[in-house]
């Protein structure tokens, strides 16, 4: 099989890098290697950052209206190449086409938000702050910004970052996950076609050496990251220690509380999507269901039936499954190891996807939808982010106990409650400790105009990705106080 090219993009030029080795890129549906991601060292990173730094003065001085027009053109090109992008995601990640399409739509929403740059970058002003004195604020770009993105959303998460960073007047170096570097190449080829000036956005690939070079480079001003919590903490601590502004989004353990009065068909559908959508490989996955009172008796039979009915298979064909593979064989084995630990610690697997076989893709990285009942707080499955198609079930006596358990989590990305009681929903909304809350919504992930507000070990930093906080992150505020002196002006006027 001929491997797909995976070039870097520096100073407006695409080129291959071979000298520091490479990492395999798989088609998870088949288990085949489809590309090799180059492992860039500090020398390549330095080239990319220097190219971005050299492009910054001219890009900074480009009017926001012109920067926005670039992204209006870019949005049109994404629409025209929509299916090509989605099929690339399915091939290198394993998402179903429906999931890939949904994620690209979410990415497009961020491009659309960025198109509002002339309004987003407006400052405030006050005439006559004092006699003859006016005051105004302005938002100015930082310089070279960096995006380090995860494997689970090859298009959407990069589009959380670079469109807003660029329309704010910064230049950018993007390091996508070495597991899914190919879709990003398409995205930036389209941005180049839309009129991207040379050096304004650059791509490097690699592992820790590449990341460390970005975190410590003296010309990098800000770093955006999405990934696991241990790495997010490392990114934040290393970046800030070297004087960078950092927003680092980590992992999660998202609890979904089901009250006895919840609508069962709606809850089963929403919970199945939350737990098993994208094969559970997302930081907003509803990974733990806390059933209150008799809710488990109402819910579990239908939920188990729904999980067992999920069709799993390759996503690189026209006849699409309900769920695709996980990202690598190693990740599949890790999820299975966590399930084994759950059994050893006393939990019961009531829907078991470990024995799944896909006859037309025997080498793919598959794991069926799995439900584990009888989870207790001290169990490994209750504490660690599984990041796979696994739903834990915990049983509590009342809402107070459910909220207490959810609030003990070290994470704080998202949470949800399913109920027909306004009182219970309000109590939950006000008391639960998480950045994003759903009321009868299984995956309360925010859209582009709202920030992605993880708490605790799900986020390190002050200003979140997306929305107005994203604009604040990618700009620095300047306050200008003005007094013009002369006869007849302000408090220096004399008769």
Residue 171 and residue 142 in contact, taking contact as beta carbons nearer than 8 Å:
no
Instruction: Using alpha carbons, list the distances in angstroms from residue 208 to 12, 239, 303, 362.
Output: 25, 14, 41, 32
Q: Which residues have a Cβ under 8 Å from the Cβ of 197 and sit 6 or more positions away?
A: 12, 55, 58, 59
Q: What is the pLDDT of residue 488?
A: 61
Q: What is the pLDDT of residue 69?
A: 98
For 70-90, give one letter per residue: b (16+ CB within 10 A) or e: bbebbbebbeebeeebbbbbb
| Total-model pTM | 0.95
8-250+458-480 classified as CATH 3.30.565.10? no
> Which positions are catalytic?
283
Q: With a cut of 70, which residues of the chain have pLDDT below it?
A: 1, 487-495
User: What values do phi and psi take at 33, rounded to 5?
Assistant: -85, 125
What is the CATH code for 255-439?
A: 3.40.309.10
d(CA 70, CA 74): 6
Q: What is the pLDDT of residue 489?
A: 55
Q: What is the pLDDT of residue 487?
A: 67
Residue ranges covered by each domain of the chain: 8-250+458-480, 255-439
Residues found in the chain: 495
d(CA 472, CA 477): 8
């Amino acid at each position: 099989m001929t491997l797909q090219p995976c070039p870097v993009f520096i100073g407006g030029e695409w080129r291959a890098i071979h000298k520091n080795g490479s990492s395999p890129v798989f088609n998870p549906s088949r288990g085949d290697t489809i590309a090799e991601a180059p492992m860039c060292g500090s020398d390549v990173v330095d080239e990319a950052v220097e190219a971005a730094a050299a492009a910054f003065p001219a890009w900074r001085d480009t009017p926001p209206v012109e920067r926005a027009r670039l992204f209006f053109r870019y949005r049109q090109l994404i629409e025209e190449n929509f299916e090509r992008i989605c099929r690339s995601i399915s091939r290198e990640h394993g998402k179903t086409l429906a999931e890939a399409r949904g994620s690209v739509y979410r990415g497009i929403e961020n491009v659309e938000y960025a198109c509002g740059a002339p309004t987003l970058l407006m400052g405030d002003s006050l005439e006559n702050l004092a006699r003859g004195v006016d005051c105004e604020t302005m938002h100015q770009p930082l310089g070279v910004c960096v995006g380090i993105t995860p494997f689970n959303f090859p298009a959407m998460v990069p589009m959380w970052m670079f469109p807003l960073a660029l329309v704010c007047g910064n230049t950018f170096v993007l390091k996508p996950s070495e597991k899914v570097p190919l879709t990003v190449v398409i995205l930036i080829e389209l941005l180049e076609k839309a009129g991207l000036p040379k050096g304004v956005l650059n791509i490097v690939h690699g592992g820790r050496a590449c990341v460390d070079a970005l975190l410590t480079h003296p010309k990098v001003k800000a770093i955006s990251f999405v990934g696991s919590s241990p790495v997010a903490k490392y990114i934040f601590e290393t970046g800030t220690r070297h004087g960078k502004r950092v927003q680092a989004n980590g992992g999660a353990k998202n609890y979904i509380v089901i009250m006895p009065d919840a609508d069962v068909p709606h809850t089963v559908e929403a919970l199945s999507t939350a737990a098993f959508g994208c094969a559970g490989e997302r930081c907003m996955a509803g990974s733990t269901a806390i059933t209150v009172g008799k809710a488990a008796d109402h819910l579990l039979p239908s939920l188990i039936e729904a999980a067992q009915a999920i069709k799993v298979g390759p996503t690189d064909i026209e006849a699409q499954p309900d769920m695709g593979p996980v990202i690598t064989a190693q990740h599949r084995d890790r999820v299975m190891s966590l399930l084994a630990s759950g059994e050893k610690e006393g939990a019961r697997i009531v829907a078991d996807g470990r024995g799944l076989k896909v006859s037309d893709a025997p080498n793919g990285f598959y794991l069926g939808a799995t439900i584990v009942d009888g989870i207790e707080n001290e169990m490994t499955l209750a504490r660690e982010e599984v990041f796979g198609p696994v739903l834990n079930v915990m049983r509590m006596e009342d809402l107070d106990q459910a909220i207490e358990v959810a609030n003990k989590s070290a994470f704080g990305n998202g949470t949800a409650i399913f109920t027909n009681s306004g009182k219970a929903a309000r109590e939950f909304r006000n008391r639960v400790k998480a950045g994003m809350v759903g009321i009868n919504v299984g995956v309360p992930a925010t859209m582009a105009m709202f920030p992605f507000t993880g708490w605790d070990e799900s986020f390190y930093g002050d200003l979140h990705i997306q929305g107005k906080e994203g604009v604040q992150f990618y700009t620095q505020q300047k306050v200008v106080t003005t007094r013009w002196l002369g006869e007849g002006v302000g408090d220096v006027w004399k008769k």
